[in-house]
Copies of this chain bind each other. A is one copy, B any other.
Amino acid sequence: MSLMELKEAKDKFIHTWGTLATQWGINRTMAQIHALLLLSAKSMNADEIMADLQISRGNVNMNLRDLMDWGLIYKQLLPGERKEYFIAEKDIWKVAKQIAKERRRREIGPLIEAMEDIKEGIQPDTVEKEEFLKIVNDISKVSVFADNTLTSLLKSEENWLLNNFIKIFNK
């Protein structure tokens, strides 16, 4: 039956999303909730998510919060409803941008800070120290470069890369 086919495909999608997410540092449940909301035409509340994914209230609550921190879902207050409803950002380009932005903040930011920090404590007054500082400096430069590249990619809508993307995306 056709409806079953879709249900299965959706389940597969949710499951796959959850598995892949662990590969890239996001936890399984967070990814599954995200997938569920991505596929849901309507916004969902905590009880519905609990029932659907068979997970505890605490778990749902915590991961909904994280997903909001990542900017991947929004809270929706429905008139006449006490419960909070959640809806996912459906524009996948925006989703990708948000993920890139967040990962930049979490992964590159601390690296730059740490390297600056280490540089400060050392004077290049011996060959060994110079060699050490060379490496720290190189890492610093690569990280700042990666950070700048990502930032400009994400910011400017006029960016050639983005335009390039839009061309591909809309075809």
Contact = CB atoms under 8 A, between A and B. Distances in A.
Interface of A: 2, 5-6, 8-10, 12-13, 16, 20, 23-25, 38-39, 41, 90, 92-93, 95-96, 106-107, 110-111, 114, 118, 121-122, 125-126, 128-129, 131-132, 135-136, 138-139, 141-142, 145-146, 149, 161, 165, 168-169
29 contacts: A2-B125, A2-B126, A2-B129, A5-B121, A6-B122, A6-B126, A6-B129, A9-B118, A9-B122, A13-B136, A16-B114, A20-B107, A20-B110, A23-B106, A23-B110, A24-B25, A24-B107, A90-B135, A92-B138, A92-B139, A92-B141, A92-B142, A96-B142, A96-B146, A141-B168, A142-B169, A145-B168, A149-B161, A149-B165
- The copy count of this chain in the complex is 2
Nearest to A138: B92
Contacts of A24: 25, 106-107
A139 B13 CA distance: 11
A146 B38 CA distance: 20
Contacts of A161: 149
**Majority secondary structure, A binding face:** helix
A93 B169 contact: no
B118 A16 contact: yes
Contact of A107 (B10, B23, B118, B169): B23
B141 A169 contact: yes
